[in-house]
Structure 1
Amino acid sequence: MNRRTALRTFLYIAGGTLVLPACFRESGKASIDLTNLSISEDDEHLLAEVTETLIPATDTPGGKELLLHLFVLKMVDDCHTPEEQKQFTKGLSAFSVWSKQELGTGFTIADANSRTELLGKIGESTDEDLKQFFSITKRRTTQGYLNSQYVMTNLVKYELVPGRYNGYAPA
């Protein structure tokens, strides 16, 4: 056996052993690391569907494609107070239960029109955790969309400061 071939084979095996654990993700946990929130995989999917309902995919990418649910989770985890984080997680679980009661099925299974109508009914609810959850989710989803790479590169026309000179502008 050639020494170079043996070394190459050893490096392939070593590289595969390092990469292989990254291919398997523990089921039941969120796909990003959060320090202050404990979100399950089902909660993450539910939040993805909520962001997709808030910003649906048309000729532009929607909430799921832009991974806005991950942005919402990261912002809540990093930038909100512990009380707001508790309200968010309570509101997320309350939203899951409430949507099953209102729709008869899960939020992720319902059609787009039913989802939109359900999100419109949140204001009528008496549950403060549910309202706070939706308020945070809506605000952070909008922020994530407006600051996404797609919007900043394709939709916003940026011009460096001070901009171009316009000699005809009124004084």
Structure 2
Amino acid sequence: MAVALGGLISLPAWAEGWNRASVASLQPILSADQDLLLADIVETIIPATDTPGAKALGVHSFIQKMVADCYEKSVQQNFVSGLTTVAGLARQTGKSFGALEEIQRLNLLKQLEQATDADQKSFYRLVKSLTIQGYMTSEYVMTNITKYELVPGRYHGCVPVKTKALTEKK
């Protein structure tokens, strides 16, 4: 009963969307350079416009937390090696991924999406899906864009009723 009650009490916190503080990973699986690379990748997938982009919302931290906590070791290893692959492909152009023009970054990601190597395709699909999931469930998007309500609709039990409407029904 105590566990169920605790779960019900904390339910509103789970449903409101995540923020940077809630995904702070205790043991990050990425180095600082890999984390910056991931931030640039998610910003390429969902760039800033009149709303903040994925990087500004910290979606890369969300992805790192999800991969570390929710995926098996083989997926985690493929995730890290996928970042290494992206860094290597960018280095072939003579620049880091973050220093590339936007169109070059998009082409590089498209190259991963259309790769014949299953691991590269798997990496790209994982990052893209988690980027979209992280962006759409972020606290900013859920409160400012989608106007999420934990309990939709309201019951107003004490609303004045016009007397004319009551007499017409009689």
Q: Give unpaired runs (5+ residues) of structure 2.
A: 1-23, 156-170
Q: How many residues align?
A: 132
Equivalents in 2 of 1:63, 1:158: separation in Å? Answer: 19
- In the alignment, does 2:49 pair up with 1:34? no
Query: TM-score, normalised to structure 2's length?
Result: 0.69
Displacement of 1:96 in angstroms is: 1.1
Separation in 2, partners of 1:118, 1:79: 27
Match of 2:46 in 1: 55
RMSD of the TM alignment (CA)?
2.1
* TM-score, with length taken from structure 1: 0.69
What is the aligned-residue identity percentage? 45
2-structure distance, mates of 1:78, 1:32: 9
CA contact (8 A) 1:51 1:68 kept: yes
1:152 is aligned to: 142
CA 1:127–1:96: 2 relative to 1, 3 Å: farther
Indicate whether 1:119 and 2:109 are aligned. Answer: yes
Cα distance between partner residues in 1 of 2:78 and 2:36: 19
Match of residue 85 from structure 1: 76
Alpha carbons of 1:126 and 1:98: their partners in 2 closer, same or farther (altered >3 Å)?
farther
CA deviations on 1:64-117 (whole Å, 9 max, x unpaired) are 11011110000000000111111111111112112322x332211101121112
The Cα offsets for residues 106-157 of structure 1, whole Å up to 9 and x where unpaired, read as 2111011211122122123233222222111111111110111111111113
Pairing 1:1-171 to 2, within 5 Å after superposition:
32-34=25-27, 37=29, 39-101=30-92, 103-159=93-149, 163=153
Q: Is the 8 A contact 1:122 1:130 kept in 2?
A: yes
1:4-33 deviations in whole A, cap 9, x for unaligned? xxxxxxxxxxxxxxxxxxxxxxxxxxx843
Note closer, same or farther for the CA distance 1:51–1:98 as it changes in structure 2 (3 Å cut).
same
Structure 1 runs (4+) deviating above 6 angstroms are none
Matching residue's letter, 2:138: S
